[in-house]
Amino acid sequence: MEAVEQLESERTEPLASGLAVTQGVFFLATGLWPIVHLRSFEAVTGPKLEGWLVKTVGALIAVVGGTLLAAGLRRRLQPELLALAAGSAASLAAVDLRYSPQRISPVYLLDAVVEGALVTGWGVAAARRWKHRAAPLPPPEYTSPEDAAGFPT
């Protein structure tokens, strides 16, 4: 029974779960797209010199997306996964903003808007998590100073 109670207490709030599912679906779709059909991907995003590199990055994005989707559906998001979600969205947004439109298609600016919205959402979710964190419980072996010294109570 204690294990079930612990699992229930670790459930993630709906905002974080919804963000994980949303980002997971988005990353899974956009990550698999160049792998499944590079030609249509390039038609929208512009020609690429290294198809294998585009597919490699797509595979990594898809793996992150699949992981976020699974965790969001299970409503089990640990702090490390929240950092991965926010960090990957922030990293992709930074690349989009840095290189668009000088070196890559302006369509990546739209991607930066989506990534920015995800980062903002993760910031709100983190603030809520921090605000509603449980106060730490005393250690189970807690004794008063009198008990530790051997005085009768």
Tell me the mean pLDDT in the region 25-30: 98
Residue 44 confidence class, pLDDT cut points 50, 70, 90 = very high
Sign of the dihedral through C-alpha 24, 27, 32, 33:
positive
Give the number of domains in the chain.
1
Domain-embedded: residue 141: no
DSSP string, 108-128: HHHHHHHHHHHHHHHHHHHHH
Domain-embedded: residue 152: no
Q: How far apart are CA 97 and CA 48, in angstroms?
A: 18
What digits encode the pLDDT tens for the residues 51-88?
999 999 999 999 999 999 999 999 999 999 999 999 99
State pTM to two decimals.
0.79
Query: Range of 122's domain?
Result: 2-130
Q: Is the pLDDT of residue 4 over 90?
A: no
pLDDT, residue 113, reads 96
Domain-embedded: residue 75: yes
Whether the CB-CB separation of 108 and 45 falls below 8 Å is answered with yes
Q: How far apart are CA 29 and CA 36, in angstroms?
A: 10
Domain-embedded: residue 15: yes
Domain-embedded: residue 139: no
Domain-embedded: residue 14: yes
Report the alpha-carbon angle 71-67-130, nearest 5: 50
